[in-house]
Amino acid sequence: MINIQFADGSVKSFAKGISAEAIATAISPSLRKRCLAAEVNGVLTDLTRPIETDAKLILITEESPVALEIIRHSSAHLMAQAIKTMYPWAQFGVGPNIEEGFYYDIDLGDTVLTDTDLPEIEKVMTKLVAQSELVSRREVSKAEALSVFKNDIYKTELINDLPDGDIITLYSQGDFTDLCRGPHVPSTKWLKHFKLLSLAGAYWRGDSKNKQLTRIYGTSFFTAEALTDYLTMVEERKKRDHRKLGKELDLFMLSEYGPGFPFWLPNGMILRRELENFWYKVHLKEGYKLIQTPIMLNKELWEVSGHWTIYREHMYTSTIDDQEYAIKPMNCPGGMLVYKHDIHSYKDFPLKIGELGLVHRHEASGALNGLFRVRNFTQDDAHIFMTEAMIVHEVSELVRLYDYMYSVFGLSYQIELSTRPLEKYIGEISTWDRAEKALADALISMGKEFKINPGDGAFYGPKLDFKLQDSMNRIWQCGTIQLDMNLPERFELTYIDQNGEKKRPVMLHRALFGSIERFIGILIEHYAGAFPTWLAPVQIKVIPVNIAIHKAYAEAIKVSLLENDFRVEADYREEKLGYKIREAQTKKIPYQLVIGDKEVADQTITYRRYGELEQITVSITDFIKMVKQEIANK
């Protein structure tokens, strides 16, 4: 007999080798019908797997946080099965679940799919769902796995990369078999509510030297209603596309003369400067000292930092006076030189040095995407130098700062702790272990929940990644806090401790917005281009009803608003009033002031907020006071 402990803490005994499915049935047949997988001792597993030892068991139902991940992964297999049915020569790369759905990378030979093919694939998927085919798992040897996939070069490559002796698992449904760790739903009947969304090209294993495969994206949900809601939101996201709104609102442009190098237009510069000024003000208040470091530095510096070895393929280089230079892909090495410029004491700590630094990184042309993926961008970097004993407190202070800054924009977040990469890292493993523990301790001390992201740390240290959630429920990687005990060693940074001895400081790298460009792209879509008044390029539009009669008073209002530092425009064109108002709405200007006979006679203004129908008449003094307060409160 074995003892099974349930989520509520209760314990029951069952025969050794019993499955989670049988346990669920013993509790309640209706519970069994609602279960799609299980978690045994913290590991997700299929319902039919035997349990051989005492275990903690969680039965995974539709309400479980991981349930959607499982049906989406299974939906990727369903899509692959349908494609194999339609295109028997197809070979398959990888097909994981992702944040809001799934994809599969497929080699279809000379066959080229278009969006019009997706509904046909969906029809076959629907038929397979109706057959309620059971999903089965089996363990095989490496030799057997290679035999099963002898006609699929991609699966063969994946299998050959597995260490000898590893357990290899195959999942089958009907006549389709896939290489996978699982777990999966018990049968295809769970996968009724899906939608194939788009096609893209993807190099095998992300390497441009490899063949480009066809990547098909899709999503799935437990109910038709949830799927419909999601698809409605997808359409809203298209309307909010920052590339589309950036053009409509005259914020930025892109040119074929510089792919990946954005141009900022006048309205975009206002938005950018307001964001930067806010950043400067907050950081000066937080005790940061602000610097600027050169955009290009000698190769030797990048060799010391490790970038030349680890990051060379992403760097732009040039030759000056017969010496090789690199345009900085990161601000950190310049920050190290600034630190070394002076002698530092423990009394200086924590020493916070901030920089809005322009960096350049070579990105593949196919990866470029508006402001989200560019080749030059401004990182809102800071480097905080401290003793090791200060780590927990300073990380806690940074998380507090991030709380405030993100709340201003109405952005919530989740935290991931990314640990040492398996390859391409610098420093001793013992140093990494201490650094990872310090970051975890800081979050635990604040009561902050976090997720471990194994192997995704920077090459010089572990990091905390802040995943922001916008108004469209999308997740964005923006802020990061990276604990680095390696670069201070490589640059031989020192400080004088209380005993007068030289010691090595610990350093935090941190970026809050991450990239000014990318953060603005996120804000454009988050706000749908309707920025809060403090950020809006044009805050107020003054519109006289009749140019001949009302222009003089409208101009006086405009001058008064300009004197109070508002960004204001007046529309004196010979156009219909309705047209002018609609255009101001299209440009998403926060306030429209309509000036007519009543306003001139009473020396008042009538305003309407963007997106609202109500018109409110107040004195110009009260209006100025109201808007100033709104801007001050962000």
Residue 619 lies in a domain: yes
Q: In the structure encoding, which two tokens stand for residue 600, read together?
A: 């001139």
Residue 535 lies in a domain: no
* pLDDT confidence tier of residue 424, bands split at 50, 70 and 90: confident
- Which single residue is written with the structure tokens 């070979």? 91
Supply the mean pLDDT for the chain.
93
State phi, psi for 579 to the nearest 5 degrees. -65, -45
Which of these three, 184, 215, 239, is where a domain ends? 239
The sign one gets for the Cα dihedral 222, 223, 224, 228 is negative
Residue 533 lies in a domain: no
Reduce the DSSP state of residue 308 to 3 states and report it: helix
d(CA 290, CA 280): 8
Q: In the structure encoding, which two tokens stand for residue 379, read together?
A: 């990182």
Question: Quick one: 423 and 554 in the same domain?
Answer: no
Residue 205 lies in a domain: yes
Question: Quick one: 82 and 146 in the same domain?
Answer: yes
CB 464 within 8 A of CB 395: yes
d(CA 293, CA 338): 8
* pLDDT confidence tier of residue 534, bands split at 50, 70 and 90: very high
Nearest alpha carbon to residue 260 among 369, 395, 103: 369
d(CA 99, CA 470): 14
Residue-level pLDDT at 311: 87
User: Does residue 611 have a pLDDT over 80?
Assistant: yes
Which of these three, 526, 550, 581, is where a domain ends? 526
pLDDT one-digit tens code per residue, 174-209:
999 999 999 999 999 999 999 999 999 989 988 878
Percent of the chain with pLDDT strictly greater than 90: 79
Which whole number is the average pLDDT over 89-97?
93
pLDDT one-digit tens code per residue, 212-267:
999 999 999 999 999 999 999 999 989 999 999 999 999 999 999 999 999 999 99
Question: Quick one: 234 and 351 in the same domain?
Answer: no
Name 624's Cβ contacts closer than 8 Å, sequence gap at least 6: 560, 561, 564, 566
Residue 534 lies in a domain: no
Number of domains in the chain: 4
Phi-psi region of 280 (alpha: psi -120 to 50; beta: other; left: phi over 0): alpha
Residue 565 lies in a domain: yes
Name 151's Cβ contacts closer than 8 Å, sequence gap at least 6: 91
The packing angle between helices 391-408 and 429-446, to 10°, is: 60
CB 377 within 8 A of CB 518: yes
d(CA 299, CA 314): 14
Q: Which residues pair with 12 in a beta bridge?
A: 4
Helix and strand numbers, DSSP H then E, in the chain: 20, 33
State phi, psi for 534 to the nearest 5 degrees. -65, -25
Write out the DSSP string of 565-577.
T--EEE--SSS-H
Task: Identify the CATH number of the domain in which residue 587 sits.
Answer: 3.40.50.800
Question: Quick one: 548 and 587 in the same domain?
Answer: yes
Using alpha carbons, list the distances in angstroms from residue 283 to 188, 353, 518. 54, 10, 20
- Which single residue is written with the structure tokens 């508002």? 566
User: Does residue 334 have a pLDDT over 90?
Assistant: yes
* pLDDT confidence tier of residue 411, bands split at 50, 70 and 90: very high
Q: Around Cβ 393, how many Cβ atoms within 10 Å?
A: 13
* pLDDT confidence tier of residue 483, bands split at 50, 70 and 90: confident
Which helix (H) or strand (E) segment is 214 a member of? strand 212-221
Residue-level pLDDT at 433: 86
pLDDT one-digit tens code per residue, 103-160:
999 999 999 999 999 999 999 999 999 999 999 999 999 999 999 999 999 999 999 9
* pLDDT confidence tier of residue 355, bands split at 50, 70 and 90: very high
- Name the DSSP letter for residue 287: T
Task: Identify the CATH number of the domain in which residue 126 sits.
Answer: 3.30.980.10
CB 355 within 8 A of CB 294: no
- Helix, strand, coil share of the chain (percent; to 5): 40, 30, 35
Question: Quick one: 57 and 72 in the same domain?
Answer: no
From the centroid of its chain, how far is CA 111? 33
Question: Quick one: 129 and 199 in the same domain?
Answer: yes
Nearest alpha carbon to residue 397 among 408, 386, 412: 386
Question: Quick one: 254 and 398 in the same domain?
Answer: yes
- Which single residue is written with the structure tokens 């425009």? 569
Task: Identify the CATH number of the domain in which residue 54 sits.
Answer: 3.10.20.30
User: What would you measure as the largest C-alpha separation in the chain, in angstroms?
Assistant: 95
Question: Quick one: 89 and 19 in the same domain?
Answer: no
d(CA 334, CA 319): 19
State phi, psi for 44 to the nearest 5 degrees. -70, 140
Q: Exposure of 266 by Cβ count < 10 A (0-12 exposed, 13-18 middle, 19+ buried)?
A: exposed
User: Does residue 442 have a pLDDT over 90?
Assistant: no
Question: Quick one: 167 and 198 in the same domain?
Answer: yes
Domain with 35, as residue range(s), is: 2-61
Question: Quick one: 15 and 86 in the same domain?
Answer: no
* pLDDT confidence tier of residue 421, bands split at 50, 70 and 90: confident
Q: For the CA atoms of the chain, what is the radius of gyration? A: 29
Residue 532 lies in a domain: no
> Considering the entire predicted model, what is its pTM?
0.81
Question: Quick one: 12 and 89 in the same domain?
Answer: no
Which whole number is the average pLDDT over 296-311?
91
Question: Quick one: 504 and 587 in the same domain?
Answer: no
Residue 395 lies in a domain: yes
Residue-level pLDDT at 563: 96
Q: In the structure encoding, which two tokens stand for residue 304, read together?
A: 């010391």
Q: Which residues are designated catalytic? A: 332, 361, 379, 381, 383, 463, 509
